Chains A and B, each alone.
Chain A
Amino acid sequence: MLLEREHKSSWWKAILLLPDYIGLSIVRSSEFKFSFYSYLFLYVAQIAFYLFFWNLVNPPNIDGWSKEACFLLTGFATLNIALQELVWATGMIDQMILKGDLIVVLVRPENSYFGLVMRRMGAMAVIPATLGLSVVVVTLCFYYELHLLQLSLACVICIFGAICMRALMLCVNTLGFKFGRVTALKSFVLSGRDLSRYPLTLLPLQFNVMLSTLFPVLLISNYPAKFLLLKDPSQMFLMLSFAFIITVAWILFAMFCWRRGLKIYEAQSL
């Protein structure tokens, strides 16, 4: 008894299913109206608070970190956190492991991890992501120059940052296969994410390296904001390459952890 017909590969199917997952997510988000509007209000309030904060503290303009650069930072931080909200379920996997909910995806012809995350996609996070991007664009128009290519590449670095953080979160969560609850470690990673709202490149080089590789919080909003301040193309290329290598490394490591985790999965539920 052989396969009757060729099926699509799991990754290709995951990409083809994206519009459906987005559609489902929009229906789901609009089902509870109060939750949706309060979620948007939270983002607007956060942006307003940080812009006001940078106006108030006036950064010392070391290494290019002026008030305007911090506005860019705020815009990228919002964009980045919104992108992470899109795949928020990465942070729930330890709960799914504990409750035995993982079994539902494992018996379907879906990419087990991608399917799990995409089914719970928060597509409405595109709205705060647009808000964040608007802050960046407005700041560029008022204080700097708007170069579309440079802005696009900065957004790519921002997406890399979001991917790295979720990959780090996934690695922490896969510890749930072995240890059950990993709540404290998750809080630790999330608190690292909050650091990305501040100009971390002011810190010594050792911290810089650590925060952009081991805990890729630097990649989140510091790098894209810094990238927009660069003038030299070779430096831009270097920064982009570095962000790409770190992202690929994190993705591969997260995939390795996930597969190892599935091997020891016991599927016992609470």
Chain B
Amino acid sequence: MGEIVIKVEQLRKCFRVPRKREEQGFLARLKQVFYREWQDIEVLKNISFEIGKGEFIGYIGANGAGKSTTIKLLTGILCPDGGSVQCLNFNPYLQRYHYSYNIGVVFGQKSILEYEVPVKASFDLYRKIYEIDERSYQKRLQFYQDILGIKDYLHIPVRKLSFGQRMRCEIAASLLHQPKIVFLDEPTIGLDASAKREIRDFLKTVNEVDQTTIILTTHDMKDIEQLCKRVIMIDQGAIIYDGDLDKLKRHFIKEKTLKFRVDKIHDHERYQALKVMALTSQRDGDEEQWRLPIEDIQLGTFMSELLQCASFLDLNITEPELEDVIHHIYEYGLKESI
């Protein structure tokens, strides 16, 4: 990790929510109209992490885990209840105005563009808000037109754009001022596959070309897999994993699935011996499916022996999707999953 741009120490945030009453019935409901009990819910429980310049971080967790709250604390929207946040040497909440010149934020479900006016009018307004000089603005605009293909929509009112077109413009508007840190809260939500791919490519380019630090919050594991080297996983307000995505995958992916259609078996005895080594074997029509424990067997040797004892019409090796791994961790927790 190079220069530290975000430093979070023992960060805590609580929300006050009404306590659900046990009592049922009309009187209990009537009582609730006049009197309500409150409780504090600790949404973030003393989390700490550091992020270096140019890193592309996947910040993931189940719904209600505390992802968006962390982003809101890092962007200065919310005031922390404990601990400290330092981003680019700013305290985001106390120095929000000056800090916001250095960050770009995309909320997938909120629009920053003016609904009734053409996209370009919103861009021009942002140019003045961020005090971008005309030359840099034109250069940046050209760059986004080329890479995001937004040239044709610039003079159309936002309300007439499709969701995918609007989202491209939203992202461009958030990055016009070339921020040092970009926070993306579910930027690809609701987009089709091709729009998602374009936005991923764009983010990758921005990260590589400008050395922009990007923090991405999403439920789409394809986004994470294709963009992030490091992931921070949060569960019930606490960080349960912070490290390499590859390491996480290696740690959890302990089996591969072999699918094949046999043409002819030459050595039945050897074939059966190999089949026994699989965790499970299933047959669906003429297709066999074996789950192989990759820690117990040498996959290369196993495959070469299999190819010697039979000839195949079709053969395919797959590993579990990252989404399944993450789902498993959300469901059973990190320790149980290990």
Closest-CB distance, A266 to chain B (whole angstroms): 6
Q: Which residues 53-79 of A sit at the B interface, judged by CB distance below 8 A?
A: none
- Nearest B residue to A100 via CB reads B110
A3 touches B98 (CB 8 A): yes
Closest-CB distance, B260 to chain A (whole angstroms): 50
Which chain A residues have a beta carbon within 8 Å of chain B's beta carbons? 1-3, 7-8, 10, 13, 16-17, 20, 23-24, 27-28, 31-32, 100-104, 106-110, 115, 119, 262-269
A8 touches B131 (CB 8 A): yes
Which residue of B77, B114, B126, B130 contacts A106 across the interface (Cβ within 8 Å)? B77
Q: Please, how many angstroms separate the alpha-carbon atoms of A27 and B157 in the complex?
A: 10
Determine whether B277 belongs to the interface, using a CB cutoff of 8 Å to chain A.
no
- Nearest A residue to B113 via CB reads A104
Q: Please, how many angstroms separate the alpha-carbon atoms of A242 and B112 in the complex?
A: 41
Q: Please, how many angstroms separate the alpha-carbon atoms of A266 and B38 in the complex?
A: 15
Closest-CB distance, A203 to chain B (whole angstroms): 35
Which residue of B15, B124, B129 contacts A108 across the interface (Cβ within 8 Å)? B129
Closest-CB distance, A174 to chain B (whole angstroms): 15
Closest-CB distance, A118 to chain B (whole angstroms): 10
Which residue of B88, B109, B116 contacts A28 across the interface (Cβ within 8 Å)? B116
Contact with A along B197-240 (1 / 0, CB 8 A): 00000000000000000000000000000000000000000000
Determine whether B19 belongs to the interface, using a CB cutoff of 8 Å to chain A.
no
Q: Please, how many angstroms separate the alpha-carbon atoms of A89 and B9 in the complex?
A: 38
A7 touches B117 (CB 8 A): no
> In the complex, which residues of chain B have a beta carbon less than 8 angstroms from the beta carbon of A265?
77-79
Which residue of A10, A17, A31, A32 contacts B117 across the interface (Cβ within 8 Å)? A31
Q: In the complex where A24-B117, A107-B103, A107-B105 touch, is A31 in contact with B78 (Cβ < 8 A)?
A: no
The 6 residue pairs across chains A and B that have the minimum distance between CB atoms: A107-B105, A28-B116, A31-B116, A109-B100, A106-B77, A1-B89
Q: In the complex where A2-B89, A10-B97, A24-B125 touch, is A268 in contact with B110 (Cβ < 8 A)?
A: no
- Nearest A residue to B101 via CB reads A109
Q: Please, how many angstroms separate the alpha-carbon atoms of A268 and B89 in the complex?
A: 27
Q: In the complex where A31-B157, A103-B72, A265-B77 touch, is A109 in contact with B130 (Cβ < 8 A)?
A: yes
A104 touches B97 (CB 8 A): no
> In the complex, which residues of chain B have a beta carbon less than 8 angstroms from the beta carbon of A269?
109
24 example contacts (A-B, Cβ-Cβ < 8 A) are as follows A2-B89, A3-B98, A17-B125, A20-B125, A23-B121, A24-B114, A28-B114, A28-B117, A103-B77, A106-B75, A106-B96, A107-B75, A107-B76, A107-B100, A107-B105, A108-B100, A108-B130, A109-B100, A109-B101, A263-B79, A265-B77, A266-B15, A267-B77, A269-B109
Q: Please, how many angstroms separate the alpha-carbon atoms of A27 and B155 in the complex?
A: 13
Q: Please, how many angstroms separate the alpha-carbon atoms of A1 and B130 in the complex?
A: 19
Q: In the complex where A28-B117, A268-B15 touch, is A17 in contact with B97 (Cβ < 8 A)?
A: no
Closest-CB distance, A241 to chain B (whole angstroms): 34
A106 touches B128 (CB 8 A): no
A103 touches B110 (CB 8 A): yes
> In the complex, which residues of chain B have a beta carbon less than 8 angstroms from the beta carbon of A106?
75-77, 96
> In the complex, which residues of chain A have a beta carbon less than 8 angstroms from the beta carbon of B109?
269
Determine whether B107 belongs to the interface, using a CB cutoff of 8 Å to chain A.
yes
A20 touches B124 (CB 8 A): yes
> In the complex, which residues of chain A have a beta carbon less than 8 angstroms from the beta carbon of B110?
100-101, 103-104
Closest-CB distance, A145 to chain B (whole angstroms): 45
Q: Please, how many angstroms separate the alpha-carbon atoms of A100 and B69 in the complex?
A: 12
> In the complex, which residues of chain A have a beta carbon less than 8 angstroms from the beta carbon of B118?
27
B89 touches A17 (CB 8 A): no
A266 touches B78 (CB 8 A): yes
A27 touches B116 (CB 8 A): yes
Q: Please, how many angstroms separate the alpha-carbon atoms of A7 and B102 in the complex?
A: 12
Which residue of A10, A27, A266 contacts B121 across the interface (Cβ within 8 Å)? A27
> In the complex, which residues of chain B have a beta carbon less than 8 angstroms from the beta carbon of A110?
129
Closest-CB distance, B292 to chain A (whole angstroms): 46
Q: Which residues 79-123 of B sit at the A interface, judged by CB distance below 8 A?
A: 79, 88-89, 96-98, 100-101, 103, 105, 107, 109-112, 114, 116-118, 121
Which residue of B72, B124, B129 contacts A109 across the interface (Cβ within 8 Å)? B129
> In the complex, which residues of chain A have a beta carbon less than 8 angstroms from the beta carbon of B105?
107
Which residue of B77, B96, B131 contacts A7 across the interface (Cβ within 8 Å)? B131
Q: Please, how many angstroms separate the alpha-carbon atoms of A3 and B97 in the complex?
A: 12
> In the complex, which residues of chain B have a beta carbon less than 8 angstroms from the beta carbon of A104?
107, 110-112
> In the complex, which residues of chain B have a beta carbon less than 8 angstroms from the beta carbon of A101?
110
- Nearest B residue to A19 via CB reads B128
Q: Please, how many angstroms separate the alpha-carbon atoms of A17 and B130 in the complex?
A: 11
Q: Please, how many angstroms separate the alpha-carbon atoms of A106 and B96 in the complex?
A: 8
Closest-CB distance, A14 to chain B (whole angstroms): 10
- Nearest A residue to B103 via CB reads A107
Closest-CB distance, B63 to chain A (whole angstroms): 13
Q: Please, how many angstroms separate the alpha-carbon atoms of A16 and B129 in the complex?
A: 10
Q: Please, how many angstroms separate the alpha-carbon atoms of A269 and B107 in the complex?
A: 12
> In the complex, which residues of chain A have a beta carbon less than 8 angstroms from the beta carbon of B5?
1
A17 touches B116 (CB 8 A): no
Closest-CB distance, A257 to chain B (whole angstroms): 16
B117 touches A27 (CB 8 A): yes
Q: Please, how many angstroms separate the alpha-carbon atoms of A154 and B15 in the complex?
A: 48
> In the complex, which residues of chain B have a beta carbon less than 8 angstroms from the beta carbon of A109?
97-98, 100-101, 129-131
> In the complex, which residues of chain A have a beta carbon less than 8 angstroms from the beta carbon of B114?
24, 28, 119
B117 touches A20 (CB 8 A): no
> In the complex, which residues of chain B have a beta carbon less than 8 angstroms from the beta carbon of A264?
79
Q: Please, how many angstroms separate the alpha-carbon atoms of A24 and B117 in the complex?
A: 7
> In the complex, which residues of chain A have a beta carbon less than 8 angstroms from the beta carbon of B131?
7-8, 13, 109
Interface hub of A28, A104, A109, A267 (most chain B Cβ within 10 A): A109
